């Protein structure tokens, strides 16, 4: 059965991928047993090596190609949004018509608990192969080829350029491989390089902060209602403006405004004191006339 690595999630990275993990690809021209669930793409180094030992136990081929490309992540092999393969020679070789079996893991971490580490080691793979094929007596004998590619730098542009160069070398390596071969592609950690830090811009960060603030207000309000007001703010401990107080203040302001208008109208009247005198008032003048 043809091994379709392109449909596996090894070459389809996720945003939550481990920054200190590495991919692992094994494909062969011989049919191989698959010992790991295809839906699981996060495995420890020990689990991957155990599965590799089971696959190579029967020494399925005479020729083995070990390709080491340090500091590679699953997101380097396939674009996380478009799904485009960023290592076309590797994808082409892994999905060739002659490929009949294999398995792949997108995220290989050192510890069983998901901690980082050095990744898969070439010496361990070489030891497994030579142990399994110790009794092979074919005419061609056992051939194990090692290829160490240049580690990917941390800079994004330089990383893409180096990945493209390494992919061309992978294409040349696979084209020279025999028809009876097993290829193992793995990525050990380069401990001499400065550890790369990935920053993820979470678009929901502001929403989470707002939700956290509102949740904190609810917690403080519930504590105050329960009588635990030792650390509550002043306006949570005491209710200064009840609906009655608010309506009273509004009514007082309206009454004061009316009183001010009335006093202003009265004070603006200009009437002489003679108008209120009986002898000099309008009534007396009318009587004299």
Residue 14 inside a domain? The answer is: yes
Q: How far, CA to CA in Å, does 245 sit from each of 88, 240, 249?
A: 75, 9, 6
CB of 49 closer than 8 Å to CB of 218: no
- Given this model, what pLDDT does residue 11 score? 43
Residue 205 inside a domain? The answer is: no
Residue 213 inside a domain? The answer is: no
DSSP state, residue 22: E
Tokens representing residue 205 in the block: 């960060």
Tokens representing residue 186 in the block: 């793995």
Q: How many domains does the chain have?
A: 2
Distance (Å, whole) CA 171 – CA 149 = 12
Residue 193 inside a domain? The answer is: no
CB of 54 closer than 8 Å to CB of 219: no
Residue 232: how many other CB atoms lie within 10 Å: 15
Give yes or no: residues 15 and 126 share one domain: yes
Give yes or no: residues 79 and 149 share one domain: yes
Q: How far, CA to CA in Å, does 117 sit from each of 1, 41, 43, 106, 108?
A: 34, 17, 13, 15, 9
pLDDT tens across the length of the chain (289 residues): 444 444 344 444 443 444 567 888 889 998 887 656 665 678 888 888 888 888 888 888 889 999 999 888 888 887 777 778 888 898 888 888 888 888 888 888 875 444 444 667 888 889 888 888 877 655 567 889 999 999 988 888 899 899 999 999 999 999 888 788 999 999 887 655 444 444 445 555 666 666 666 655 555 555 555 555 566 666 666 666 778 888 899 999 999 999 999 998 888 877 666 666 666 656 656 665 5
Residue 10 inside a domain? The answer is: yes
Residue 164 inside a domain? The answer is: yes
Give yes or no: residues 136 and 182 share one domain: yes
Among 172, 144, 183, residue whose Cα is nearest residue 24: 183
- Given this model, what pLDDT does residue 68 score? 92
Give yes or no: residues 151 and 277 share one domain: no
Give yes or no: residues 182 and 227 share one domain: no
Give residue 265's domain range: 218-288
- Given this model, what pLDDT does residue 82 score? 78
């Amino acid at each position: 059965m043809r091994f379709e690595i392109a449909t596996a999630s090894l070459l389809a990275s996720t945003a939550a991928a481990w920054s200190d993990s590495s991919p692992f690809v094994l494909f062969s021209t011989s049919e191989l047993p698959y010992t790991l669930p295809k839906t699981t793409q996060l495995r420890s180094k020990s689990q991957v090596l155990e599965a590799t030992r089971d696959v190579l136990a029967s020494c399925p081929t005479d020729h083995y190609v070990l390709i080491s490309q340090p500091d590679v992540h699953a997101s380097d092999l396939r674009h996380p949004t478009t799904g485009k393969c960023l290592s076309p020679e590797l994808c082409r070789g892994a999905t060739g018509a002659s490929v009949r079996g294999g398995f792949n893991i997108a995220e290989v971490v050192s510890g069983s608990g998901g901690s980082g580490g050095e990744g898969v080691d070439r010496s361990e793979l070489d030891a497994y192969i030579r142990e399994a094929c110790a009794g092979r007596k074919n005419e061609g004998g056992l051939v194990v080829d090692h290829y160490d590619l240049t580690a990917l730098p941390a800079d994004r542009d330089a990383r893409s350029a180096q990945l493209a160069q390494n992919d061309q070398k992978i294409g040349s390596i696979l084209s020279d491989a025999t028809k009876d071969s097993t290829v193992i592609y793995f990525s050990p950690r380069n401990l001499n390089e400065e550890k790369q830090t990935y920053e993820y811009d979470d678009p929901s960060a502001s929403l989470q902060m707002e939700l956290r603030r509102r949740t904190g207000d609810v917690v403080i309000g519930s504590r105050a209602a329960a009588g635990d007001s030792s650390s509550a703010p002043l306006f949570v401990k005491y209710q200064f403006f009840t609906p009655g107080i608010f309506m009273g203040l509004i009514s007082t302001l309206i009454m004061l405004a009316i009183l001010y208008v009335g006093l202003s109208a009265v004070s603006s009247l200009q009437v002489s004191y003679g108008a209120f005198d009986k002898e000099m008032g309008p009534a007396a003048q009318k009587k004299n006339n």
